[in-house]
Amino acid sequence: MKAGFVNIFGKPNAGKSTLLNALLGEKLAIISPKVQTTRHRIKGFLTEPGKYQLIFSDTPGIIQPKYKLQERMMQSVKSALEDADVALLMADVADNREENNNLFASLNLKVPCIVVLNKIDKLGDKRINDAAIFYKSQPYCKKLVQISALQKAHIDELINAILEYLPEGEPFYPEDDMTDLPTKFFVGEMVREKIFELFGDEIPYHTAVMVNEFKEKDTLVKIQADIIVQRESQKGILLGEGGKMIKQLGTLARQDIEKFLQQKVFLQLFIKVRPKWRDNELHLKEYGY
Ligand SMILES: Nc1nc2c(ncn2[C@@H]2O[C@H](COP(=O)(O)OP(=O)(O)OP(=O)(O)O)[C@@H](O)[C@H]2O)c(=O)[nH]1
């Protein structure tokens, strides 16, 4: 039996969340074409009884610590990398190689690194090969695997590559667990995902979702969540004319949550204005960042 921790690392949009979904086959990570959506480390487990348990962490994209919120994210990236048995350095095959290379090299990781060349469905063989040769020649690259996370192509190959570097050991978590994150967390992420889907570029980056109540009743689960925004004008946009938008948001989020929980859900959403939440340490704690 092999068991260990695997960290997925890469620039925003490299496809980390998509890979986690491909590996775990569940809606564990919020997927969005916009950058910087993953604010938390997501831990998901992939267990093959008697053979292996892989514990994956997703890291937020690498960004400038402009806000305190982002500083927190960078700290969590570093601590994640220090814990892992294997690091997956993920690169979009169409991305600037030098830039990725500088980033990967600057981490100076002590753990074995597998370069995961993602999105091979986007380019022809020649360009994929050139990129592969480039990364393979880098000192940090123990192995390179080419995948398409979106099309779930070569995922088994990646698992086998990880297993080569994983220590022998007993599972850390019960075999049928999927994650150590509370259900509440996923519910909040699903509401956030709908905000990304329904609203333009501005709104999602200025909102946070806090799930206040999660009560399992006989026939349904009652959930109350706050959507926190910074300005009254944002609240207005989220509400929409006569509350039209928030209603639609609630319906879409509820449908996803019901699918996820396999139960009927009563979802209540409130919008709250907190002008300074991004930079205020106290609020950061309150919202679990
Ligand atoms: N064509 C193609 N697109 C992909 C592939 N993998 C991911 N994408 C797309 O790339 C975008 C970013 O994917 P994510 O999985 O959200 O990227 P991420 O690295 O988690 O991004 P952050 O959360 O911002 O760090 C999404 O639009 C995905 O659909 C792939 O293999 N092929």
Residue of 19, 24, 150 best suited for mutating to test ligand 1, as the one with most atoms within 8 Å of CB: 150
Give the residues across from 146 on adjacent strands: 117
Q: Whose CA is nearest to atom 12 of ligand 1?
A: 13
Which of the four pLDDT bands, split at 50, 70 and 90, describes residue 74? low
**Binding-site annotation, residues for GTP:** 10-17, 58-62, 118-121
Ranges 59-63, 253-257, 260-264: which has the least confidence: 59-63
- Closest-lying ligand 1 atom to the alpha carbon of residue 34: 24
Residue 228 vs residues 29, 221, 258, 271: alpha-carbon distances, Å: 21, 22, 23, 6
CB neighbours of 59 closer than 8 A, spacing ≥ 6? 7, 8, 9, 16, 38, 41, 76, 77, 80, 81
Extents of the domains making up the chain: 2-165, 183-286
pLDDT at 87: 92
Share of the chain above pLDDT 90, in %: 43
User: How confident is the prediction for the chain on average, in pLDDT?
Assistant: 81
The vertex-39 CA angle with 38 and 44, nearest 5°, equals: 65
CB 117 within 8 A of CB 147: yes
pLDDT digits (tens, 9 = 90+) for 180-193: 666 777 788 889 88
What architecture is domain 2-165? 3-Layer(aba) Sandwich (3.40)
pLDDT class for 172, splitting at 50, 70, 90? confident
32-41, 77-86, 264-273: segment of lowest average pLDDT: 32-41
Higher pLDDT, 17 or 178: 17
C-alpha 16 – ligand 1 centre gap (Å): 6
Q: Give per-residue pLDDT as tens, 54-66.
A: 988 776 555 444 5
Instruction: Give the pLDDT of residue 93.
Output: 96
Question: Is the CB of residue 10 below 6 angstroms from any atom belonging to ligand 1?
Answer: yes
Q: How many CB atoms lie within 10 A of CB 286?
A: 14
Lowest pLDDT segment from 107-116, 168-177, 229-238: 168-177
Task: Please tell me the distance between residue 13's alpha carbon and the centre of ligand 1 in angstroms.
Answer: 5
Neighbours of 106 (CB within 10 A): 8
The DSSP result for 62-80, as a single string, is P----SHHHHHHHHHHHHH
Is residue 277's pLDDT more than 80?
no
pLDDT of residue 177: 64
Q: Do 2-165 and 183-286 come out as alike in CATH topology?
A: no
Check if the beta carbon of residue 135 is closer than 8 Å to that of residue 3.
Answer: no
Q: Please tell me the distance between residue 122's alpha carbon and the centre of ligand 1 in angstroms.
A: 12
Place of tokens 């002590």: 110
Give CA separation, 107 vs 19, 74, 80, 84, in Å: 21, 12, 12, 13
pTM: 0.66
Q: Does residue 118 have its Cβ closer than 6 Å to ligand 1?
A: yes
Gap between the Cα atoms of 250 and 154, Å rounded:
37
- Is the model more confident about 72 or about 116? 116
- 122 CB less than 6 Å from ligand 1? yes
Which carries the bigger pLDDT value, residue 279 or residue 269? 269
Q: Which residues contact 219 (CB under 8 A, 6 or more apart)?
A: 264
φ, ψ (nearest 5 deg) of residue 264? -70, 145
Alpha carbons 255 and 74: distance in angstroms, whole number: 33
Ligand 1 neighbourhood includes 200 CB (under 6 angstroms): no
Tell whether ligand 1 has an atom less than 6 A from the beta carbon of residue 204. no
Q: Which CATH class is domain 183-286?
A: alpha beta
Mean pLDDT score, 34-46: 54
ipTM above 0.85, yes or no: yes
